[in-house]
Structure 1
């Protein structure tokens, strides 16, 4: 990052302290910039942070999952002082159901582990296993490329019904947070290529055992402060204008900066750029979103065989995945159930979703009376209405560059990935480098 005034480091404003904004701020600081961060909330982290629920119980605003392919996120965490072993539980990918069946990968190179898991998938009919291997071979031969207009449902129309139900549909909604009949096939193929067919460890599940705020936001803020960055929380930027003075650049609420990274939400970025670049602003404002509901239940203290459990979702069964938080450093008997692509349940209300999850768990563990609806308790329900953008085929996502010295960062920007923590981090780093 070049100095813009003789003997002075460039002044860079980062608007937003979510994961993309923090990644941009750390990268810009490391490259010698004088960084100021503006965050409208009282806490950093954006859509991936934590808040105190009861006494000493911290709950994240949704149960996030990382995978081994999130290499830039892991590097950023290490850079700001977070050791992977302290913050995450690394497990081979396991999509096991309460019945015990499911796809279970072993450690080691991803492709052999995937083949072994499919061939040894107990309870899955052989015709279903062969249909999955045929599809996966076809994806690989085509370089994990398909027509941009295809949905996941269209891409996988030849899949055996059991493979669709037990693997493809839950993987799609977990990775893209968009129903399979609406979700982009190309984006899912990109995710599968990087995870299931990437280097050893790429498909590993990395489950947070620290509150999300402690996993990156708080360590990153401490790192930035130690490096001399200026941090403003609880401050919403009201105006962004071109600086027509001697040094040019931009004015953030009247304060001059040489460069600006808009790492706020798409809606906020659209508001701030409406007069600067109306076309870009209009594209950001037009983004559509999918919600996620997370339900925390108190239930049996004997726990599950694994920290993460796949669940069979349906019209009356909202959750696709559950987490035994006792295995992730939390209380015994505390479980988080995740409803992705949750638009229909948002319409019905949080209470209806929570009660449906209770019934779903009672049915899933029908032989365990401790999971009856009378013996489980809803501890909390959180709805993130704009959890991710709707990852649909051919989606026209805004570009990073807005104007000279003004760039955007965020998981909603143009790129090959869905809305993920890794997408946010990569976008923030790329924005800082571009300056």
Structure 2
């Protein structure tokens, strides 16, 4: 019997991050009756706005890229206009001194060749080495041994190319230091971003809070469509009930677990112990975001790369005023931040302010209390994307699937990975019901 002939179904979605909202919206679109459960008081998960004494700021800075087709389509579905909410610009990895790479508009291959050929601060030998390495990756179909690290993949590249380009790209995309990051996943990201179509590598920088990009419009859309939303409610129990599932005693035909891997492991331990153990053993990398204030400063671009090091935590800085947000506010992002989390947020804030003053010598000269607006750590920002990592599958049991950026797939922990995983998890859960 086809799925269409058995509509509508009672579908539960656990978690209202970007994955959960994606699953809920797509299930509602298909005519199902959706109930959404979220333990937090606000939607958005690890990509949302948070109230602070300095106003609403994001719990972490996120970049979208042109290749995020599923995420952009989801935004349009719920009435969030990407053209209005996102600032599109060519991929630019420039530093405060002007060195770095910028990809001009055009076909992917031509754009990459022109960008490398005109990169500032690199010698002809360094440019040629990168072009030869990229050609080799292209000829091999952007594939490599599953146990290879990014450091191993790029070991023959000149040190300057690694420091200026590979390492910041790796930590931005995988949130894992290149010595411990999966080369296989890194190559997949490069393939999709740099060589999958014109504009795929473009940076899409939020002009509004992350909540305004998707969580708030999605909630409004779901409510208008009649979905039932429970915020501030943690799901305590999940068990099989014939061809369906009991979630805290309420029966559903299909369930999508779009909560964290930790919560999903807790809920599935009694009936899917192997899956639960796999989800519970994932390791994580934190991200720290420090918001600094200087009303006189304006960056040369909305985002600049920074030279990170032992005493310089941040890899990127975003000029939020240039994006139409808080004037004079700058978000300094520390990815792969485990060593700095261990040192504490106070020590990290001091180090970021010192780094900011060195990078921009005429800025951030006020007292520290006036400079630092807010600093936050997302302790489990992403799973550690290590070589050979075996991630939990989407299918947990018939009619029960897992969604989120941590499930098995080719992408690291990104917004696009979350949205795609949710769409696939929903289809999987409903397919099982159609066969029952």
Cα distance, 1:302 vs structure 2: 3.4
TM-score, normalised on structure 1? 0.96
Kindly tell me: are residues 157 and 263 of structure 1, through their superposed partners in 2, closer, same or farther at Cα, counting changes over 3 Å? same
Cα distance, 1:373 vs structure 2: 6.7
Matches within 5 A, 1:22-421: 22-54=21-53, 57-244=55-242, 248-366=243-361, 368=362, 370-372=363-365, 374=367, 377-421=371-415
Cα distance, 1:431 vs structure 2: 1.2
Gaps of 5+ in 2: 431-436
Rounded Cα–Cα distance in structure 1 between residues aligned with 2:74 and 2:390:
28
Question: Deviation digits for residues 322-368 of structure 1, max 9, x if unmatched?
Answer: 000001112221100000000000000001111101111111123x2
Rounded Cα–Cα distance in structure 2 between residues aligned with 1:373 and 1:136:
44
Question: Deviation digits for residues 54-100 of structure 1, max 9, x if unmatched?
Answer: 37x21111010000010000000001101112110001011110001
Any idea what SS the aligned residue of 2:50 has? strand
Cα pair 2:99 2:121 within 8 Å, conserved: yes
Q: Which runs of 4+ in 1 moved over 2 A?
A: 1-5, 370-376
Question: Deviation digits for residues 212-268 of structure 1, max 9, x if unmatched?
Answer: 111001111111111111000000000001114xxx300000001011001000000
Rounded Cα–Cα distance in structure 2 between residues aligned with 1:9 and 1:364:
57
Any idea what SS the aligned residue of 2:229 has? strand
Rounded Cα–Cα distance in structure 1 between residues aligned with 2:325 and 2:220:
25
Question: Deviation digits for residues 256-286 of structure 1, max 9, x if unmatched?
Answer: 1011001000000000000110000000000
Structure 1 residue 15 and structure 2 residue 4: aligned?
A: no
Question: Deviation digits for residues 386-411 of structure 1, max 9, x if unmatched?
Answer: 00000000001000001011101000
Cα pair 1:18 1:44 within 8 Å, conserved: yes
Any idea what SS the aligned residue of 1:241 has? strand
Cα pair 2:292 2:372 within 8 Å, conserved: yes
Rounded Cα–Cα distance in structure 2 between residues aligned with 1:420 and 1:44:
17
- Which stretch of the first structure deviates more once superposed, 263-272 or 370-379? 370-379
Cα pair 2:293 2:364 within 8 Å, conserved: no
Rounded Cα–Cα distance in structure 1 between residues aligned with 2:4 and 2:253:
9
Rounded Cα–Cα distance in structure 1 between residues aligned with 2:30 and 2:326:
41
Rounded Cα–Cα distance in structure 2 between residues aligned with 1:408 and 1:149:
25
Rounded Cα–Cα distance in structure 2 between residues aligned with 1:283 and 1:4:
36
Cα pair 2:261 2:406 within 8 Å, conserved: yes
Cα distance, 1:419 vs structure 2: 0.1
Rounded Cα–Cα distance in structure 2 between residues aligned with 1:429 and 1:242:
22
